[in-house]
Amino acid sequence: MTSVSLGMPDAPPPVLAPRRRTRQIKVGSVGVGSDSPISVQSMTTTPTTDINATLQQIAELTAAGCDIVRVACPSADDAEALPIIAKKSQIPVIADIHFQPKYVFAAIEAGCAGVRVNPGNIRKFDDQVKEIAQAAKDHGTSLRIGVNAGSLDARLLKKYGKATPEALVESAVWEASLFEEHDFHDFKISVKHNDPVVMVRAYEMLAERGDWPLHLGVTEAGPAFQGTIKSATAFGALLSQGIGDTIRVSLSAPPVEEVKVGIQILQSLNLRPRKLEIVSCPSCGRAQVDVYTLAEQVTAGLEGMEVPLRVAVMGCVVNGPGEAREADLGVASGNGKGQIFVKGEVIKTVPESEIVETLIEEAMKIAEGMGEAGGEDPVQGGPVVTVS
């Protein structure tokens, strides 16, 4: 078999900025902070009391590449389900607690890897910081101080009139100081807002105030299309400055979609190794093939490949040969035919009807050459589709 050099770079690919230095914490087995890769989180949508359904969803999220999962705990029945969920989940479980301080303790005792507390709506939260810090310390549980625009402390709402970046940051810094007074440092912070502009400003300000690891999120970002764009825009603005240690994309969509988007954002910024990347042109009046269908079929045919392979699918000879030559594998179409490129060399010309199968066949050969013909973890990340 001819071996194909994939031109793998020796040095890590460039990033836009070095990570902001933070203290390091652990959420179960996952490190969070500047010494660890940026992790991707999501949250289950099943009733936590339905243990089987919740574990099933966690398994799907794990297969999709989720690093840490959060589950809601609004009632005593949910709290009762936590020990088994925390024990059986393949990834660390964070319990999400609002309103009732007793569930913070229940979640810690249940063996959850982390607990998210919302100081804005937990009754007499500040009075209980000492006990919470002690319980978390005793169990090796890390916390997230999760300030949220929609449930900001009433005192700060009154002071600032609304959830401004200053209000979100003041709330977070105050709560952080209370935990630190009790010598508890194993927490990260989030200051979420549904407006990316406010959210970005709040995180920028917070990043200046301390070395806490930061959990990024645009809260209530909306349905998949809008939420993806809002999250990508806001996370991109922060991650490109090195700010952000763990992320959660919030979508009104199945949580697996949140994970795919999160992974894609990190891959786009070289903050995670890129896997399969499809470079396809947007098509135009010069296109001599149906680029949309071709790109879709190639994407579908290669789904699950875990190799860092760049595949160019181009509609005509204007940019086609150039892009196809730059990619590991590519096609430049024209006159009902496709010129197939492997590492910059034309290896054959096939009729249009054979372009997809030829590209898939060649991709498989390259993957085999790398000793990996597909994924043990086929869902993770999904193919990257870049429209040039």
Q: Point out the annotated binding site for [4Fe-4S] cluster.
A: 281, 284, 316, 323
- In terms of CB distance, is 273 or 282 closer to ligand SF4? 282
Q: Which stretch binds ligand SF4 (CB under 6 A): 55-63, 214-222, 284-292, 345-353?
A: 284-292
Q: Which stretch binds ligand SF4 (CB under 6 A): 80-88, 158-166, 214-222, 313-321?
A: 313-321
Check residue 385 for interaction with ligand SF4 (CB under 6 A). no
Check residue 119 for interaction with ligand SF4 (CB under 6 A). no
Check residue 330 for interaction with ligand SF4 (CB under 6 A). no
Residue 2 CB, shortest distance to ligand SF4, in Å, is 28
Check residue 283 for interaction with ligand SF4 (CB under 6 A). yes
Binding residues: 281, 284, 316, 323
Instruction: Look up residue 100 and give its two tokens.
Output: 């009732």
11, HSE (Cβ side, Cα atoms, 13 Å): 3
Q: Which stretch binds ligand SF4 (CB under 6 A): 43-51, 108-116, 228-236, 278-286?
A: 278-286
- In terms of CB distance, is 43 or 294 closer to ligand SF4? 294
Separation between Cα atoms, residue 30 and residue 26, nearest integer Å:
6
Beta bridge partners of 350: 338
Check residue 232 for interaction with ligand SF4 (CB under 6 A). no
Q: Is the CB of residue 222 less than 8 Å from the CB of residue 252?
A: yes
The label of the residue with tokens 């947007």 reads 282
Pairing of strands 142-148, 114-117: parallel
Check residue 13 for interaction with ligand SF4 (CB under 6 A). no
Quote the Cα angle for 75-76-77, to 5°.
Answer: 90
Q: How many residues does the chain have?
A: 388
| Residue 35 DSSP SS3 | coil
| Residue 93 DSSP SS3 | strand
Check residue 282 for interaction with ligand SF4 (CB under 6 A). yes
Q: Which stretch binds ligand SF4 (CB under 6 A): 37-45, 72-80, 317-325, 371-379?
A: 317-325
Nearest to 56 by CA among 67, 68, 65, 44: 44
Check residue 336 for interaction with ligand SF4 (CB under 6 A). no
Quote the Cα angle for 249-254-256, to 5°.
Answer: 65
- In terms of CB distance, is 43 or 316 closer to ligand SF4? 316
Residue 359 CB, shortest distance to ligand SF4, in Å, is 16
How many residues in the shown chain lie near ligand SF4 by CB under 6 A? 12
Q: Which stretch binds ligand SF4 (CB under 6 A): 116-124, 144-152, 229-237, 279-287?
A: 279-287
Instruction: Look up residue 331 and give its two tokens.
Output: 């096609």
Of the candidate residues 286, 293, 300, 386, the single one contacting ligand SF4 (CB under 6 A): 286
Check residue 338 for interaction with ligand SF4 (CB under 6 A). no
Check residue 281 for interaction with ligand SF4 (CB under 6 A). yes
Instruction: Look up residue 272 and give its two tokens.
Output: 């995670």
**Which residues have C-beta within 8 Å of that of residue 251, sequence separation ≥ 6?**
221, 222, 223, 224, 227, 228, 231, 257, 258, 261
Separation between Cα atoms, residue 350 and residue 167, nearest integer Å:
62
Chain residues binding ligand SF4 by CB under 6 A are 281-284, 286-287, 314-316, 318-320
